[in-house]
Amino acid sequence: MKKILLTFFIILFCPLNILAYSKNVIPGGESIGIKIESDGLIVVGFYKVNGEYIASDNIRIGDNITHINNKRVYSINELTNVIDKSNTSEVDIKLIRNNKEVNTKLRLVEENNLLKTGLYVKDNVVGLGTLTYIDPVTKIWGALGHEILLSETNSRIEVKDGNILMSKVTSINKSRNGHVGSKNANISFNKKIGTIDKNTVNGIYGTYTSSLPEKDLIMVADFDEIKKTEAYIYTVTSNNAIKKYKIKILDKYPNKKNTTKAISFEIVDKDLINKTGGIVQGMSGSPIIQDNKLVGAVTNVLVDNVTLGYGILISTMLETGES
């Protein structure tokens, strides 16, 4: 079946990191807006200047531009200001490509009395997801259960700064076999509830800065406690009301305990299927609950059968959040 990713001390003076996450956490389920400012400018495409692609010879899609003429740049405005003040036909560029630093040149060409670079770049990403948990002791939160990739480059965005924000789901574009739908939401950009500190293969993580939700704590499940039987996911399908929907855990995979596909499940709740058709984008991070314990979070969907999906273990997310 075709799959798609939709759409966190020892004596003798030897340092050792010990991951001591809480065994009881605040369960999520809230729909959250996500805004990340990248650590540099990401090249997402090229355009012609005077009929010529002037930048494609030495710059590639996915490159992360960090310096222009030795000046650190984080935003499109900063890039534009440096270029406007350069008074030259080319500038020095420092960029990151495949985790390696590259120094090159960028040619500038005047068109309609404006200096053009021939580059399309991005300096931030805005999206929607679901909060998985908050650690009440450290206030570390985790969401999504998988990394955020730029759609244009399929590369992970490195975080300079970011926030999670309050949001309300306004409608659902339903999933159907062969097509993954999505949640649509209004994001309140002036209502920040947490910082985003890192974007990892196991989700996004940060510090919760708002008042902690008034919810009962839930125990964290061990891998051996997960059963191939009924469970629930917590998610929002309308406004900001968290509801629980029935699923069935089909299998768990010991050799994939630290991946985003450690468990497989099927949505069996008719109400959820009527509302969404199955798993939709924006559902990533929805907590999976079994026997009143937090098992993990929704991560992936099978495109050929959108009621089937995968999840990451909560222990993996907690370890990633603490590391």
Say if CB 23 and CB 220 are below 8 A apart. Answer: yes
Known catalytic membership, residue 284: yes
Side-chain-side CA neighbours of residue 285 (13 Å): 31
**Length of the chain measured in residues:** 323
Which listed residue (63, 123, 135, 269) is catalytic?
Answer: 269
Q: Residue written as tokens 């405005």?
A: 77
Known catalytic membership, residue 167: no
Known catalytic membership, residue 179: no
Angstrom distance (rounded) from CA 250 to CA 246: 13
Which listed residue (146, 167, 175, 264) is catalytic?
Answer: 146
Which listed residue (38, 175, 182, 284) is catalytic?
Answer: 284
Assign 35 to helix, strand or coil: strand
Single-letter residue type at 244: K
DSSP symbols for 258-319: TSTTSEEEEE--HHHHHHHSS--BT-TT-EEEETTEEEEEEEEEETTEEEEEEEEEHHHHHH
Side-chain-side CA neighbours of residue 168 (13 Å): 5
Catalytic residues: 146, 269, 284
